[in-house]
């Protein structure tokens, strides 16, 4: 497993370096349109071919990876922190605090947030840059994507509050934030890490789906999600193998995250 | 020679014999039809059902673009378009056996002109205030009298479905080749052959040849294409360009019928009280600015790349396929970035380190709004963005969800430029009254003006009213040609491309004659047959 | 028990009422509420366009609309869809059973796959199995729902299986982490050290510790599955409420959207309520 973790770290560092060094690895850039060769197969000039508008796929993949891999973990972190806050608070205090918090969580899970997102788009200026648009989208996802996990964390917190070591800690004078930080959160690590790991690819994909509402990345900036979205129009009728590369990249990155986030296995 | 003549006649008569009857035609519609009432159709799905089931007094032949008799054997337009007299076909019945007569025509007109109807069909006949009156001249003749002349009157009846005044089935009793037999919500609509359909082929055989038509509700273009390639459906009425090429590469039967009347265009917001910066409003109001943007856009590339060569650069308002009404003196705007820059310089714009600035120093930057999720338009916007970058203009692309987009361009006017299109454009210019009249709600760049904001819009108003009140086609053409010239000079709409009609028709379908006019693949549905 | 059940039902009704009102408010304030595609139709006269717009604004006062809706609801009338001109009760009666069936199957399959894989990786400790499970869960969580749905149409596979494959990674991840956390407990380490069998340790020591969170996850997995199933239904043209929901959202069909919000709230809240009750019952019985 140690080898696996090292390998995963190397892959992530390489992916990150490639994404950051996109300008050097793909000097054509993500927006230049080679209009005489749209939808071209891989060649020496375009290692992964070109898309429907003749843009270099390699460049778009590198820049798209940069956008998504930088922003999605931040959004996932926000969602995890919010889930920990609401779920932890509900489980810690119990009683009416728990009831109100869980009521809020259930409402949050049921409301059609689609219309809030449409409203947000309307409020944003029309001339917002693609970079700012995608940042705002990921932030929104972070603030809206925490509710499912909060319940699980609440249940975990309640169980921990009944455990002997927490009783001992409380008897020793630990309470409030210190108790949460030193005794509760570490024992909820598994749930929190699960939330984080799930959120990264889900947010990447959701950002692309929000393109139907006018949010997310806008032309010409690519994101991993928007490149994945292109698969929809090719998957049914003769897709080319290189069109699956964004999916492969995401699977590899997500698997590497998973390997790194796992704590050591128990071996007997 | 005589022998050759006899062989030709025999062959002509034999064609219907080879057309095997029976079978179920299958194709898809995009959504659940909102209504089955043929006079209230709002969208393509309900309009498709209307077309397949309704009997009309006359039908526009989609190939010759001429009106042909249907439930009326002849008609005469009188008083410059204020009256029209129809001689009705005898022995016709609705799908439930109820006989068709002049009373049904009168009833249909009464329903059509109901002020609460609010349908495109009814509004097309509202030429002035005042009632529309019907007069039964004889059992087989009826005259309809309008309050004011209606331009292109006869052809408008192509979309007016005859309703039965007597049938207990009300609007579900139809006089067309099929009737609605079954409807499973969200799944399909089954149409069956109308046993009382009046039409016969040249050999005297009862039409339609088909037993039934099954319309599956299918939103996804890719799945529709997959089902077509598997043989689960027989035709696709409108194929997206990218999918067309893939189907063609597979060897599946598809056809580029040619240039259609559909257009794609860009316009700038010229509404006086729109919430945009004054300096931007000044740019958009300048014809030089609009012409410069037009000259900086490479239409050949748009047609070739965004539409996979299944579009043609547009000239102006009217597509060349509209043979009579197209102003053939007009030529397409050239792609000439250098000329575009010269025009802009006339208005005080200048390049500053590759960035175009106006005379007050503002960087020329604006947002193009387009419907989110519309792949072709997003691609066009991306190409226009790159083209305008070459003359120093920064374009931001702002995809907006459909309902929010409608609100922006019709109510709040909170947009700068918009990329959109006209589809199912009818041939007669009168259908575009509400686009070109400055007081109209769909005068997109500056709707509902109390008085024309510019002299050229005032001239267009005069010309449109003149063509609407004339019954002389040559005179109307003269007026419409001049409107096209003004639109070409001023470019309130920067016309980009005319899309081609792309259809997929399985080889098992016989007698298909796809047209560039709606409904492209099945306009002659009563003559279609399936080869078993 | 009756008191608990009564309070739970009251809570459910309260959540549904609130969700309907908040959802309706969001729909109303979102731009495009009064917009209709017919406003762009140049074949319509100005009067017709104004009439279309006025018709859309008829439900613009949300409190009044909602009060009227609730009054009708008591009589069993769910209103009429503005978009489809059909009674919503009929629409739901035709489509809801299909979605409920698909939802139940998707959740069941997702749990069977997720829990079985999580338990198997802990029981066997096999690196190959763990890598395979993580690879599968990584693959399916990275695949867009639309892409998987299209692949399933291509392969003629049932759409509920696609939904299950998209939900199972989440179940697997949580269960895997919870079970592993359970194995880290001192009493479990002691039991293993004393030679207790892995099955016995899993069933009697690890599972009970993880159960409360898993029960909470069970409640939440309904909501996760709905979120995945509705777009799959829309793409695969299954005549469930997924197709209806997307059309209603794009058409701003307020009566239909409010009803669909209530349906989703009912499913989500009753699932979480059930899991809460189960959790309370089981943890009480352990003490």
Write the DSSP symbol of residue B200.
B
| A163's tokens | 């455990």
Let me know whether B186 and B284 are in one domain. no
Taking an 8 Å cut-off on Cβ atoms, the answer to whether A247 and C279 are in contact is no
Residue B293 placed within a domain: yes
Given a cut of 70, whether residue C254 has pLDDT beyond it is yes
CB proximity B398 to A under 8 Å: yes
Supply the CATH number for residue B462's domain.
3.10.105.10
Residue B223 placed within a domain: yes
CA dihedral B430, B431, B437, B442 (to 10 degrees): 180
pLDDT at B12: 47
Taking an 8 Å cut-off on Cβ atoms, the answer to whether A35 and B379 are in contact is no
List all residues 6 or more positions away from C77 whose beta carbon is below 8 Å from its beta carbon.
C87, C89
pLDDT at C284: 64
Name chain C contacts of A204, Cβ cutoff 8 Å: 142
Q: How confident is the model at residue A1 (pLDDT cuts 50, 70, 90)?
A: low
User: Which among A190, A209, A267 has CB closest to C125?
Assistant: A267
- Please name the residue of chain C whose CA is at the shortest distance from the CA of residue B31: C247
Let me know whether B379 and B488 are in one domain. yes
Q: Tell me which residues of chain B, numbers 212 to 231, contact chain A at a CB-CB cutoff of 8 Å.
A: 222-223, 225-226, 229
Q: pTM value?
A: 0.91
Which CATH number is A2-34+47-267 given?
Answer: 1.10.3720.10
pLDDT at C286: 44
Let me know whether B266 and B343 are in one domain. yes
CA distance B426 to B318: 10
CB proximity A123 to B under 8 Å: no
Looking at CA atoms only, how far is residue B277 from chain A in angstroms? 12
Taking an 8 Å cut-off on Cβ atoms, the answer to whether A158 and C215 are in contact is no
Q: How confident is the model at residue A264 (pLDDT cuts 50, 70, 90)?
A: very low
Given a cut of 70, whether residue C285 has pLDDT beyond it is no
User: Which among C173, C184, C257 has CB closest to A112?
Assistant: C257
Write out the residue range of the structural domain in which residue B431 sits: 258-500
Let me know whether B231 and B350 are in one domain. no
- C-alpha of B484 from chain center: 18
C260-271 burial, b for 16+ CB within 10 Å, e for fewer? Answer: bbbbbbbbbbbb
Name chain A contacts of C209, Cβ cutoff 8 Å: 159
| B184's tokens | 């499973």
User: Which among C30, C39, C84 has CB closest to B410?
Assistant: C39
User: Which among B222, B375, B416 has CB closest to A236?
Assistant: B222
Let me know whether B26 and B75 are in one domain. no
- C-alpha of A101 from chain center: 25
Let me know whether B237 and B307 are in one domain. no
Domain ranges of chain A: 2-34+47-267
The answer to whether the beta carbons of residues A29 and A59 sit under 8 Å apart is yes
B228 closest CA partner among B525, B45, B502, B424: B502
CB proximity C265 to A under 8 Å: yes
Residue B3 placed within a domain: no
CA distance A212 to A118: 10
pLDDT at B49: 97
Looking at CA atoms only, how far is residue C190 from chain A in angstroms? 11
Strands B58-60 and B67-69: antiparallel
Given a cut of 80, whether residue C19 has pLDDT beyond it is yes
Given a cut of 60, whether residue C154 has pLDDT beyond it is yes
Residue B15 placed within a domain: no
Look-up: residue for tokens 């380190």?
Answer: B353
When pLDDT is averaged across residues C135-141 and rounded to a whole number, the result is 91
Residue B9 placed within a domain: no
pLDDT at B492: 98
When pLDDT is averaged across residues A100-115 and rounded to a whole number, the result is 88
CA distance readout (Å), A124 to A195, A215, B371, C39: 29, 10, 16, 24
CA distance A60 to B117: 51
When pLDDT is averaged across residues A116-145 and rounded to a whole number, the result is 90
Name chain C contacts of B231, Cβ cutoff 8 Å: none
Looking at CA atoms only, how far is residue C200 from chain A in angstroms? 15
CA distance A19 to A72: 14
Strands B417-422 and B365-371: parallel
Given a cut of 90, whether residue C56 has pLDDT beyond it is no
A124 closest CA partner among A116, A115, A133: A133
Q: Tell me which residues of chain C, numbers 228 to 257, contact chain A at a CB-CB cutoff of 8 Å.
A: 231, 249, 257
Across A244-248, B259-263, C268-272, which has the greatest mean pLDDT? B259-263
Taking an 8 Å cut-off on Cβ atoms, the answer to whether A52 and B385 are in contact is no
Mean pLDDT lowest among A16-25, C21-30, C57-66, C278-287? C278-287
Name chain B contacts of A235, Cβ cutoff 8 Å: 222
pLDDT tens profile B142-162: 999 998 888 888 989 999 999
- Please name the residue of chain B whose CA is at the shortest distance from the CA of residue A220: B382
The answer to whether the beta carbons of residues B314 and B299 sit under 8 Å apart is yes
Three-state DSSP at B439 gives coil
Let me know whether B214 and B302 are in one domain. no
Given a cut of 50, whether residue A268 has pLDDT beyond it is no
CA distance C92 to B193: 31
Q: Phi, psi at residue C265, to the nearest 5°?
A: -65, -45
Burial status of residue C226 (CB atoms within 10 A of its CB: 0-12, 13-18, 19 or more)? buried
pLDDT at B160: 95
CA distance C162 to C103: 11
CB atoms within 10 A of CB A87: 31
Q: Which residues of chain B have pLDDT under 70?
A: 1-21
CA distance C263 to A122: 28
Looking at CA atoms only, how far is residue C105 from chain B in angstroms? 21
pLDDT tens profile C77-126: 999 998 888 899 999 998 999 999 999 999 999 999 999 999 999 888 88
When computed from its CA atoms, the radius of gyration of chain B, rounded to whole angstroms, is: 25
User: Which among B243, B306, B372 has CB closest to A214?
Assistant: B372
Q: How confident is the model at residue A266 (pLDDT cuts 50, 70, 90)?
A: very low
CA distance A85 to C98: 37
The answer to whether the beta carbons of residues B49 and B520 sit under 8 Å apart is no
The answer to whether the beta carbons of residues A265 and C141 sit under 8 Å apart is no
Name chain C contacts of A201, Cβ cutoff 8 Å: 138, 141-142
Taking an 8 Å cut-off on Cβ atoms, the answer to whether B396 and A35 are in contact is no
User: Which among B250, B305, B366 has CB closest to A35?
Assistant: B305
Count CA atoms closer than 13 A to B404's CA, side-chain side.
Answer: 31
DSSP string of chain A? -HHHHHHHHHHHHHHHHHHHTHHHH-TT-SS---TTSTTPPP-SSSTT-B-TTS-BHHHHHHHHHHHHHHHHHHHHHHHHHHHHHHHHHHHHH-HHHHHHHHHHHHHHHHS-THHHHHHHHHHS-TT--HHHHHHHHHHHHHHHS-HHHHHHHHHHHHHHHTSHHHHHHHHTT--HHHHIIIIIHHHTHHHHHHHHHHHHHHHHHHHHHGGGGT-S--TT---HHHHHHHGGGTSSS---GGGGHHHHHHHHHHHHHHHHHSPPPP--
Percent of chain A with pLDDT over 70: 97
| B113's tokens | 């002109």
List all residues 6 or more positions away from C163 whose beta carbon is below 8 Å from its beta carbon.
C102, C103, C106, C110, C225, C228, C229, C232
Let me know whether B197 and B48 are in one domain. yes
- Tell me how far apart the terminal alpha carbons of chain C are, to the nearest angstrom: 18
pLDDT tens profile A167-191: 888 888 887 888 888 888 888 888 8
Strands B212-217 and B24-29: parallel
The answer to whether the beta carbons of residues A112 and C257 sit under 8 Å apart is yes
The answer to whether the beta carbons of residues B319 and B258 sit under 8 Å apart is no
pLDDT at A267: 36
Let me know whether B465 and B364 are in one domain. yes
CB proximity A255 to B under 8 Å: no
pLDDT tens profile B414-457: 999 999 999 888 889 998 999 999 999 999 999 999 999 999 99
Within B135-204, residue ranges assigned H as helices are 153-156
Helix (H) or strand (E) holding C86: none
Across A114-123, A224-233, C85-94, which has the greatest mean pLDDT? C85-94
Question: Can you point out the beta strands (E) in B47-206?
Answer: 58-60, 67-69, 72-78, 83-88, 133-138, 141-145, 178-184, 188-193
Let me know whether B59 and B49 are in one domain. no
CA distance C165 to C163: 5
The answer to whether the beta carbons of residues A61 and A245 sit under 8 Å apart is yes
pLDDT at B501: 96
Helix (H) or strand (E) holding B502: strand B493-505
CB proximity A122 to B under 8 Å: yes
Within B390-493, residue ranges assigned H as helices are 402-407, 433-436, 455-468, 473-490
Residue B450 placed within a domain: yes
ipTM of the complex, rounded to two decimals = 0.90
Supply the CATH number for residue B233's domain.
3.40.190.10
Residue B6 placed within a domain: no
Name chain C contacts of A109, Cβ cutoff 8 Å: 220, 223, 268, 272
User: Which among A106, A154, A194 has CB closest to C268?
Assistant: A106
Burial status of residue C55 (CB atoms within 10 A of its CB: 0-12, 13-18, 19 or more)? middle
C141 or C282, which is more confident: C141
How many structural domains comprise chain B? Answer: 3
Let me know whether B471 and B528 are in one domain. no
- Please name the residue of chain B whose CA is at the shortest distance from the CA of residue C36: B403
Residue B92 placed within a domain: yes
Name chain A contacts of C223, Cβ cutoff 8 Å: 109-110, 148
Strands B188-193 and B178-184: antiparallel
CB proximity A114 to B under 8 Å: no
CB proximity A42 to B under 8 Å: no
> Among B267, B441, B444, B447, which would you mutate to test the C interface (most chain C Cβ atoms within 10 Å of its Cβ)?
B441
Let me know whether B451 and B355 are in one domain. yes
Taking an 8 Å cut-off on Cβ atoms, the answer to whether B226 and A237 are in contact is yes
């Amino acid at each position: 497993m140690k080898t696996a973790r090292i390998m995963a770290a190397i892959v992530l560092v390489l992916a990150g370096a490639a994404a950051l060094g996109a300008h050097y690895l793909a000097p054509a850039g993500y927006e230049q349109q080679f209009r005489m060769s749209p939808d071209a197969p891989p060649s020496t000039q375009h290692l992964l071919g070109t898309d429907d508008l003749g843009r270099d796929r390699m460049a778009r993949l590198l820049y798209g990876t940069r956008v998504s891999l930088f922003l999605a973990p931040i959004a996932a972190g926000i969602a995890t922190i919010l889930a920990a806050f609401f779920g932890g608070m509900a489980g810690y205090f119990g009683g009416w605090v728990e009831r109100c918090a869980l009521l809020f969580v259930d409402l949050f899970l049921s409301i059609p947030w689609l219309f809030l997102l449409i409203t947000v788009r309307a409020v944003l200026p029309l001339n917002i840059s693609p970079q700012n648009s995608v940042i705002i989208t990921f932030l929104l996802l972070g603030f809206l994507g925490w509710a499912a996990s909060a319940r699980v964390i609440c249940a975990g917190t309640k169980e921990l509050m009944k455990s002997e070591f927490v009783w001992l800690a409380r008897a020793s004078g630990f309470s409030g934030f210190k108790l949460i930080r030193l005794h509760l959160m570490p024992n909820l690590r598994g749930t929190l890490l699960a939330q984080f790991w799930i959120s990264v690819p889900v947010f990447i994909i959701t950002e692309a789906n929000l393109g139907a509402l006018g949010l997310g990345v806008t032309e010409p900036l690519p994101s991993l999600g928007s490149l994945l979205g292109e698969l929809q129009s090719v998957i049914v009728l003769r897709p080319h193998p290189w069109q699956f590369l964004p999916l492969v990249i995401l699977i590899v990155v997500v698997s590497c995250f998973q390997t790194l986030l796992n704590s050591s296995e128990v071996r007997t | 020679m005589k022998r050759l003549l006899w062989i030709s006649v025999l062959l002509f008569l034999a064609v219907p014999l080879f057309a095997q009857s029976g079978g179920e035609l299958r194709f898809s519609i995009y959504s659940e039809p909102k209504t089955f009432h043929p006079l209230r159709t709002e969208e393509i799905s309900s309009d498709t059902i209307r077309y397949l089931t309704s009997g009309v007094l006359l039908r526009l032949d989609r190939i010759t673009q001429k009106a042909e008799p249907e439930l009326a054997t002849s008609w005469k337009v009188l008083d410059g378009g204020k009256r029209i007299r129809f001689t009705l076909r005898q022995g016709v019945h609705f799908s439930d056996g109820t006989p068709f007569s002049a009373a049904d025509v009168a009833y249909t007109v009464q329903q059509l002109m109901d002020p609460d109807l609010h349908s495109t069909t009814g509004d097309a006949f509202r030429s002035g205030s005042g009632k529309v009156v019907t007069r039964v001249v004889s059992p087989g003749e009826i005259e309809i009298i309008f309050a004011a002349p209606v331009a292109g009157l006869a052809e408008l009846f192509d979309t007016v479905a005859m309703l039965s005044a007597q049938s207990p089935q009300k609007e579900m009793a139809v006089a067309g080749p099929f009737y609605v037999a079954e409807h499973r919500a969200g799944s399909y609509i089954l149409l069956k052959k109308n046993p009382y359909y009046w039409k016969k082929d040249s050999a005297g055989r009862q039409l339609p040849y088909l037993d039934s038509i099954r319309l599956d509700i299918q939103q996804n273009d890719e799945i529709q294409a997959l089902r077509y390639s598997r043989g689960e459906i027989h035709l696709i009425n409108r194929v997206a360009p990218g999918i067309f090429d893939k189907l063609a590469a597979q060897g599946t039967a598809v056809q580029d019928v040619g240039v259609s009347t559909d257009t794609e265009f860009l316009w700038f917001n010229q509404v006086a009280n729109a919430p945009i910066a004054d300096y931007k409003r000044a740019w958009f109001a300048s014809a030089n600015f609009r012409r410069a943007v037009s000259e900086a856009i490479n239409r050949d590339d748009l047609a070739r790349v965004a539409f996979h060569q299944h579009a043609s650069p547009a000239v102006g308002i009217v597509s060349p396929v509209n043979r009579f009404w197209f102003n053939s003196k007009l030529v397409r705007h050239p792609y000439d970035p250098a000329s575009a820059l010269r025009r802009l310089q006339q208005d005080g714009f200048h390049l500053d380190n590759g960035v175009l600035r106006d005379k007050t120093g503002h960087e020329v930057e604006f947002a193009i709004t387009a419907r989110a999720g519309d792949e072709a338009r997003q691609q066009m916007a991306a190409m226009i963005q790159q083209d305008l970058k070459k003359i120093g203009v920064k374009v931001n692309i702002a995809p907006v969800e459909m309902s929010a987009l409608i609100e922006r361009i019709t109510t709040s006017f909170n947009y700068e430029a918009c990329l959109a299109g006209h589809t199912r454009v009818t041939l007669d210019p009168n259908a575009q009254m509400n686009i070109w009249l400055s007081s109209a709600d769909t005068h997109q760049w500056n709707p509902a003006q109390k008085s024309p904001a510019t002299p050229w819009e005032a001239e267009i108003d005069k010309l449109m009213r003149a063509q609407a009140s004339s019954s002389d086609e040559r005179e109307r053409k003269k007026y419409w040609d001049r409107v096209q010239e003004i639109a070409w000079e001023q470019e309130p709409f920067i016309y980009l491309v005319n899309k081609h009609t792309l259809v997929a028709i399985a080889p098992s379908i016989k007698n298909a004659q796809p047209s560039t006019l709606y409904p492209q693949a099945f306009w002659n549905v009563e003559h279609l047959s399936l080869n078993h | 028990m009756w008191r608990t059940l009564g309070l739970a039902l009251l809570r459910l009704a309260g959540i549904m009422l609130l969700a309907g009102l908040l959802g309706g408010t969001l729909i109303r304030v979102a731009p495009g509420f009064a917009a209709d595609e017919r406003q762009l139709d140049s074949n319509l006269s100005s009067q017709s366009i104004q009439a279309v717009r006025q018709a859309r604004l008829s439900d613009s006062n949300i409190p009044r609309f909602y009060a009227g809706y609730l009054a009708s609801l008591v009589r069993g009338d769910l209103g009429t869809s503005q978009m489809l001109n059909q009674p919503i009760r009929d629409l739901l009666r035709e489509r809801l059973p299909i979605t409920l069936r698909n939802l139940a199957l998707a959740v069941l399959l997702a749990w069977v796959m997720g829990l079985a894989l999580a338990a198997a990786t802990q029981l066997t400790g096999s690196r190959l199995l763990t890598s395979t499970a993580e690879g599968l869960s990584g693959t399916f969580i990275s695949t867009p729902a639309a892409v998987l749905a299209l692949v399933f149409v291509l392969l003629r596979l049932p759409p509920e299986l696609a939904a299950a494959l998209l939900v199972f990674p989440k179940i697997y991840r949580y269960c895997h982490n919870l079970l592993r956390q359970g194995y880290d407990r001192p009493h479990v380490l002691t039991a293993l050290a004393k030679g207790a069998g892995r099955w016995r340790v899993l069933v009697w020591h690890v599972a009970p510790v993880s159960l409360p969170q898993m029960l909470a996850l069970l409640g939440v997995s309904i909501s996760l599955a709905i979120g995945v199933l509705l777009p799959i239904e829309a793409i695969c043209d299954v005549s469930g409420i997924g197709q209806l929901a997307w059309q209603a959202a794009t058409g701003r069909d307020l009566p239909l959207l409010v009803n669909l919000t209530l349906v989703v709230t009912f499913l989500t809240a009753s699932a979480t309520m059930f899991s809460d009750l189960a959790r309370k019952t089981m943890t009480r019985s352990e003490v």
